[in-house]
């Protein structure tokens, strides 16, 4: 999602709403609040009050003081709370805003959406910090990757492959009907099922099979870990050979929002990604990284070559650089078969200022566990010492 | 629900005694206290505890549970506990205090006197965060200090320990 696009976006009352609540949606839309809810929704459903004030400053044409923007925020939130679109809670002394179901429905377009923002889930995992970090990256960089991109990109690539096959008279004899069926699915799991139910000897899909078995499943795992795919890949070209078979040269940008994960986690992520991409069926990674570094392309078009790179967003502290370095291990030491064609770039996102002043986001799971272990040892020694003598 | 009509199980009792003595409960204490989410839910339903706002405890965001007014009356009447006043401005301090309490045996926990009770017993003194009698019969003063404490404040706490306790557990919460 890009912030600029929200300025002129039109919002309508979502489908399937209880009729008696239509006026509430109309009020939210007519007052211009919908774009703010949409921005919060795109980032995970939560934002800090100060972040919302910064967003108002971005959208507001008239120049005001900070107090002026804060007043606008207060007025907006009072109305949204009254209409049942948001809930306001506190983290220590900092206010944060959570979207309620009507706000989610407004952004989603349908009241019967399965998507929810659950307070319990927010704090059980790192969804809260992830949402705050995403929102901040939206403010700082003007865009944020959305979960829709994750599989939309694969559908788009499949569509382009089908188009190329048809333009060239399907010399290779691909099962184009099956590719059509894949493109007609609305859920990526259905697309994966179609491909898995038709083994290679029964159905000729070529690189499309690798897309919907290997890449799609890896994307699913990434998505479940909170990672996203940037809208524009680093490199994409679809090539047709003289015999009609199609090859794919593709380098997605995997977007990771750093929250409380320790270095160990990112070391494991690096292994997971390099093994996953290296293991994609029909993927030839030999010399790919060097080819990309020297010429900006992935080499010989006769083979399919699928690599990746990473864009890491996180709080501006020394840990971020170390985490980016851990994620680039494959790039630096993966050898000539490295599927990582460009090292991880890191983008600093200052969320510390929105959290309690006595807390910094250098804290993470690893540090929390380390603190607790040390504390336990100290307490056990002291308490045990009381009983020992 | 009147206090004398509440029937609490052993685990529910342990939960509200912990909150009464140390101010709060978080999910991280479940295994140390031997309670499940159902026990917590049951106490919520009986209006003995409520959910506070999310807070940071040593860089981890958790939701603390505190005593409601009903819960406070209950622990006062039933267990003679003057409830400890949980301070959201010093979450790490109270987190360490709770961990100390949870490391004690069940008998030692029953001997725990909260800071609030100590303030009533020793009205003109700078009392410790807690006190208990261990299995050897020693009175142990428990004090968690932070970097915000002045030397004078710490000295007055030490002097209380010297006068009324046999031994002490002193932990600096900022060291972890």
Compute the distance between CA of residue B126 and CA of residue B18 in angstroms, rounded to an integer.
23
Residue B72, pLDDT score: 94
Compute the distance between CA of residue A241 and CA of residue A383 in angstroms, rounded to an integer.
75
Residue B56, pLDDT score: 82
pLDDT over threshold 60, residue A248: yes
> A92 to chain B nearest CA, in Å?
5
Query: What is the DSSP annotation of B40-51?
Result: HHHHHHTTSEEE
Residue A357, pLDDT score: 45
pTM of this structure: 0.76
CB B14 within 8 A of CB B25: no
For the segment A220-224, the average pLDDT, to the nearest whole number, is 86
Residue A318, pLDDT score: 66
Residue B1, pLDDT score: 47
pLDDT digits (tens, 9 = 90+) for B140-167: 999 999 888 888 899 999 999 999 999 9
Q: Does A89 touch chain B (CB under 8 A)?
A: yes
Please tell me whether residue B61 adopts helix, strand or coil conformation.
strand
For the segment A161-176, the average pLDDT, to the nearest whole number, is 91
Provide long-range contacts, Cβ within 8 A and 24+ apart, for A12-21. A12/A109, A14/A105, A14/A106, A14/A108, A14/A109, A14/A110, A14/A111, A15/A109, A15/A110, A15/A111, A15/A112, A16/A110, A16/A111, A16/A112, A17/A102, A17/A105, A17/A111, A18/A111, A21/A102
Compute the distance between CA of residue A102 and CA of residue A109 in angstroms, rounded to an integer.
10
Cα diameter, chain B: 48
Half-sphere exposure of A287 (CA within 13 A, CB side): 8
Residue B107, pLDDT score: 92
- Taking CB atoms and an 8 Å cutoff, what residues of chain A touch B99? 375-376, 379
Residues of chain B contacting A, Cβ within 8 Å:
53-56, 58-63, 88, 91, 96, 99-100, 103-104, 134-136, 138, 140, 167, 169, 171, 175-176
Residue A197's contacts (CB-CB under 8 Å, 6 or more residues apart) are: none
Compute the distance between CA of residue A255 and CA of residue A346 in angstroms, rounded to an integer.
10
Query: What is the DSSP annotation of A101-142?
Result: HHHHHHHHSBTT------HHHHHHSSHHHHHHHHHHHHHHHS
Q: Does A262 touch chain B (CB under 8 A)?
A: no
Residue A350, pLDDT score: 82
pLDDT over threshold 70, residue A323: yes
Residue A62, pLDDT score: 81
Please give the residue of chain B at the shortest CA–CA distance from A371. B176
pLDDT over threshold 80, residue A370: no
pLDDT interval class at B15 (50, 70, 90)? very high
CB A353 within 8 A of CB A318: no
- Taking CB atoms and an 8 Å cutoff, what residues of chain A touch B64? none
Token pair for B55: 């807070």
Residue B60, pLDDT score: 79
Residue A358, pLDDT score: 44
pLDDT interval class at A258 (50, 70, 90)? confident
Estimate to the nearest angstrom the gap between the alpha carbon of A210 and the chain centroid.
Answer: 22
Nearest to A226 by CA among A341, A313, A324: A313
pLDDT interval class at B22 (50, 70, 90)? very high
Q: Does A125 touch chain B (CB under 8 A)?
A: no
pLDDT interval class at A364 (50, 70, 90)? low
pLDDT over threshold 90, residue B95: yes
pLDDT over threshold 70, residue A308: yes
Provide long-range contacts, Cβ within 8 A and 24+ apart, for A165-171. A165/A240, A165/A244, A165/A246, A168/A240, A168/A244, A169/A244, A170/A244, A171/A243, A171/A244
pLDDT over threshold 50, residue A117: yes
User: Which candidate in A387, A388, A389 is best for mutational testing of the B interface (most B CBs within 10 A)?
Assistant: A387
Residue A236, pLDDT score: 94
**What mean pLDDT is reported for chain A?**
87
CB A234 within 8 A of CB A253: yes
Binary contact (B61, A364; C-beta < 8 A): no
Host H or E run for residue A56: helix A49-59
Binary contact (B56, A379; C-beta < 8 A): no
Please tell me whether residue A232 adopts helix, strand or coil conformation.
coil
pLDDT digits (tens, 9 = 90+) for A132-157: 989 998 998 888 887 777 888 999 99
CB A158 within 8 A of CB A248: no
Please give the residue of chain A at the shortest CA–CA distance from B97. A379
Please give the residue of chain A at the shortest CA–CA distance from B173. A375
Residue of A387 and A349 predicted with greater confidence: A349
Nearest 10 degrees: CA dihedral of A325, A327, A331, A335? 110
Compute the distance between CA of residue A266 and CA of residue A261 in angstroms, rounded to an integer.
8
Please tell me whether residue A309 adopts helix, strand or coil conformation.
strand
Binary contact (A90, B54; C-beta < 8 A): yes
Compute the distance between CA of residue A12 and CA of residue A107 in angstroms, rounded to an integer.
9
β-pair partners for B139: B133
pLDDT interval class at B124 (50, 70, 90)? confident
- Taking CB atoms and an 8 Å cutoff, what residues of chain A touch B169? 379, 382-383, 386
Residue A388, pLDDT score: 65
> A93 to chain B nearest CA, in Å?
9
pLDDT over threshold 90, residue B13: yes
Residue B104's contacts (CB-CB under 8 Å, 6 or more residues apart) are: A383, B112, B132
Percentage of chain A lying above the pLDDT 70 cut: 94
Residue of A54 and A127 predicted with greater confidence: A54
- Taking CB atoms and an 8 Å cutoff, what residues of chain B touch A367? 59
Residue A250's contacts (CB-CB under 8 Å, 6 or more residues apart) are: A157, A233, A235, A236, A237, A305, A306, A307
Give me the residue label for tokens 């890009």.
A2
Distance between the two ends of chain B, CA-based, in angstroms?
42
Compute the distance between CA of residue A129 and CA of residue A363 in angstroms, rounded to an integer.
12
pLDDT digits (tens, 9 = 90+) for A84-111: 999 998 887 788 999 999 999 998 888 8
Residue B175, pLDDT score: 82
pLDDT interval class at B110 (50, 70, 90)? very high
β-pair partners for A90: A95
Interstrand relation of A345-348 and B49-51 (parallel, antiparallel or unpaired): unpaired
Binary contact (B167, A376; C-beta < 8 A): no
Residue B5, pLDDT score: 67
ipTM: 0.83
Backbone angles phi, psi at A347, to 5 degrees: -125, 120
Residue B141, pLDDT score: 94
pLDDT over threshold 50, residue A389: no
Q: What is the 3-state secondary structure (H, E, C) of A154-213?
A: HHHHHHHHHHHHHHCCCCCCCCHHHHHHHHHCCCHHHHHHHHHHCCCCCCCCCHHHHHHH
């Amino acid at each position: 999602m890009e912030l600029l696009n929200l300025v002129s976006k039109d919002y309508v009352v979502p489908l399937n709403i209880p009729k008696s609540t239509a006026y509430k949606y109309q009020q939210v839309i007519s007052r211009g609040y919908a774009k703010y809810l949409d921005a919060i929704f795109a980032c995970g459903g939560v934002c800090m009050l100060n972040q919302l004030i910064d967003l108002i400053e971005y959208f507001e044409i008239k120049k005001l003081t900070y107090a002026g923007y804060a007043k606008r925020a207060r007025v907006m939130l009072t109305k949204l709370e009254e209409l049942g679109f948001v809930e306001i809670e506190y983290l220590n002394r900092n206010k944060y805003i959570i979207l309620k179901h009507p706000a989610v429905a407004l952004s989603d377009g349908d009241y019967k959406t399965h998507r929810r923002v659950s307070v319990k889930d927010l704090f059980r995992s790192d969804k809260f910090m992830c949402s705050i970090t995403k929102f901040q990256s939206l403010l700082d960089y003007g865009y944020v990757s959305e979960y829709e991109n994750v599989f939309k990109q694969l559908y788009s690539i499949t569509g382009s492959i089908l188009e190329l096959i048809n333009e060239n008279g399907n010399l290779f004899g691909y099962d184009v009907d099956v590719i059509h069926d894949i493109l007609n699915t609305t859920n990526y799991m259905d697309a994966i099922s179609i491909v898995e139910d038709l083994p290679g000897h029964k159905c000729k899909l070529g690189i499309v099979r690798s897309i919907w078995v290997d890449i799609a499943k890896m994307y699913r795992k990434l998505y479940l870990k909170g990672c996203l795919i940037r809208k524009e890949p680093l490199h994409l070209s679809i090539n047709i050979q003289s015999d009609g078979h199609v090859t794919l040269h593709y380098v997605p940008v995997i977007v990771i929002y750093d929250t409380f994960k320790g270095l160990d986690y990112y070391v494991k992520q690096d292994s997971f990604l390099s093994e996953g991409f290296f293991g994609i069926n029909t993927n030839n990674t030999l010399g790919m990284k060097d080819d990309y570094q020297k010429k900006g392309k992935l080499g010989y078009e006769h083979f399919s070559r699928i690599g990746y790179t990473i864009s890491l967003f996180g709080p501006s502290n020394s840990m971020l650089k170390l985490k980016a370095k851990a994620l680039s291990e494959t790039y630096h030491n993966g050898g000539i078969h490295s599927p990582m064609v460009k090292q991880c770039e890191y983008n600093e996102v200052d969320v510390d200022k929105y959290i309690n002043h006595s807390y910094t986001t250098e804290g993470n799971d690893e540090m929390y566990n380390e603190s607790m272990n040390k504390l336990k040892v100290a307490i056990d020694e002291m308490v045990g010492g009381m009983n020992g003598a | 629900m009147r206090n004398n009509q509440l029937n609490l199980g052993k685990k529910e009792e342990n939960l509200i005694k912990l909150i009464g003595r140390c101010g709060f409960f978080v999910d991280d204490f479940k295994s140390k206290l031997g309670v499940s989410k159902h026990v917590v839910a049951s106490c919520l339903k009986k209006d003995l505890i409520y959910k506070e706002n999310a807070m940071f405890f040593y860089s981890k965001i958790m939701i603390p549970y505190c005593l409601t007014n009903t819960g406070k009356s209950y622990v006062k009447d039933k267990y003679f506990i003057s409830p400890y006043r949980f301070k959201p401005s010093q979450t790490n301090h109270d987190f360490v205090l709770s961990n100390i309490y949870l490391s004690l045996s069940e008998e030692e926990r029953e001997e725990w006197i909260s800071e609030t009770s100590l303030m009533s017993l020793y009205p003109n003194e700078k009392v410790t965060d807690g006190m208990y009698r261990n299995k050897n019969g020693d009175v142990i003063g428990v004090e968690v200090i932070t970097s915000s404490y002045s030397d004078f404040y710490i000295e007055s706490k030490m002097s209380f320990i010297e006068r009324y306790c046999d031994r002490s557990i002193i932990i600096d919460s900022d060291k972890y």
